[in-house]
């Protein structure tokens, strides 16, 4: 029986799940509730301010990169299995290429944007 290459996708999927479960809710509260409803002073999401902070810190870039890219792989893996399970098993290779390809493309785009800042 052939050795499976699933571990690479599964580990990215589970790491993405961890990020989605633990960090994204915090970001949703900050960027989706606290700031828009004016519950915090001092305009924390001011563009200039964020841009300057990002351009000066590789650590912030790295954290944002992880927070953006790992959930992409989480989506890719889950969406792939969902499509296969609803009956698209005959085109499962194409689905894998599109899902993981999409996540890889998103990762490359995120990397390029962060490197340019």
In the complex, which residues of this chain contact another protein (CB under 8 A)? 1-8, 10-11, 14, 81, 85, 89
- Shortest Å, Cβ 75 to another protein: 14
Three-class SS state of 37: coil
Contact by Cβ (8 Å): 114, 65: yes
How many residues belong to the chain? 117
- Shortest Å, Cβ 78 to another protein: 8
Closer Cβ to another protein, 18 or 27, answer by number:
18
Closer Cβ to another protein, 5 or 48, answer by number:
5
CA dihedral 82, 88, 93, 96 (to 10 degrees): -20
Closer Cβ to another protein, 13 or 64, answer by number:
13
- Shortest Å, Cβ 54 to another protein: 31
CA distance 90 to 112: 35
């Amino acid at each position: 029986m052939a050795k499976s290459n699933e571990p690479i996708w599964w580990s990215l999927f589970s790491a993405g799940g961890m990020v989605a479960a633990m960090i994204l809710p915090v970001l949703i509260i900050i960027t989706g509730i606290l700031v828009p409803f004016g519950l915090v002073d001092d305009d924390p999401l001011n563009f200039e301010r964020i841009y300057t902070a990002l351009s000066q810190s590789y650590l912030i870039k790295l954290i944002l990169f992880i927070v953006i890219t790992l959930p992409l792989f989480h989506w890719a893996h889950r969406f792939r299995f969902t499509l296969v399970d609803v009956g698209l098993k005959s085109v499962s290779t194409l689905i894998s290429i599109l899902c993981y390809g999409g996540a890889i493309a998103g990762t490359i785009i995120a990397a390029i944007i962060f490197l340019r800042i």
